[in-house]
Structure 1
Amino acid sequence: MTPQRLRALCLSFDDAVEEFPFGPETSVFKVAGKIFALSALSVPTGEPLTVNLKCDPDLAVQLRAAHPEIVPGWHMNKRHWNTVTVSGSLPDRLLRELVEDSYDLVVAGLPRAQRLRLDRP
């Protein structure tokens, strides 16, 4: 997965926006003002792309045990966030599912009125 494809994936969800509150080098993807993904999409050549994603705590432990590319979230609450290295060894399908799960977890925590607005086509 390329940085451009990761950006497109994150922005494909309802009401998802990209902001830069930590500086121009870090893309922060939010839904209804809440973060669901962070990544330095303009990585130097030779450096792996990484993305921080929210995750259910029990699933986070399982994913970290099963995939060396998934570690506790860097600069995040390590119980609820994972840092995923996108080096090509993790299947794109799994990465897409992890991004979608992160978005879904954030949406599930929103007030009911906001959740319902997001469910509209």
Structure 2
Amino acid sequence: MKNVFFTCVFFLGLSISGFAQNDQIVEKANTIVKEMNDEIMSVDKSLALSKDQEAQLKTIHVNRLKELRKVKKEGADKSGNKEINKKYYQKIFKEVLTKDQIKARKTAKENSKE
């Protein structure tokens, strides 16, 4: 009886830790999307991300972060990370953001460097 109880507690602990890691990824993705929106809005508030764009970006970033975490566990080098980031950011810039939003983000990045 004790073995069954400890086994249940063990699996419960594993599942809770899995949810906590997933929550961290979602929270990080939300932060990245918010920062991107703030950069765009710093140039032109009318170019703010729509709710649909925000949802798409969150999904893309969650998938990107999960893939990066998976590759890191496998012990890949930084070139693997660059390839993953390149793949997902190309998707963002080609499929989600408009040309005006991309220009506004680029302008904001250039202004922040100065």
Q: TM-score, normalised by structure 1?
A: 0.37
Structure having the larger proportion of residues in strand? 1
Greater RCO, CA 8 A, separation 6+: 2
Larger radius of gyration: 2
Structure having the larger proportion of residues in helix? 2
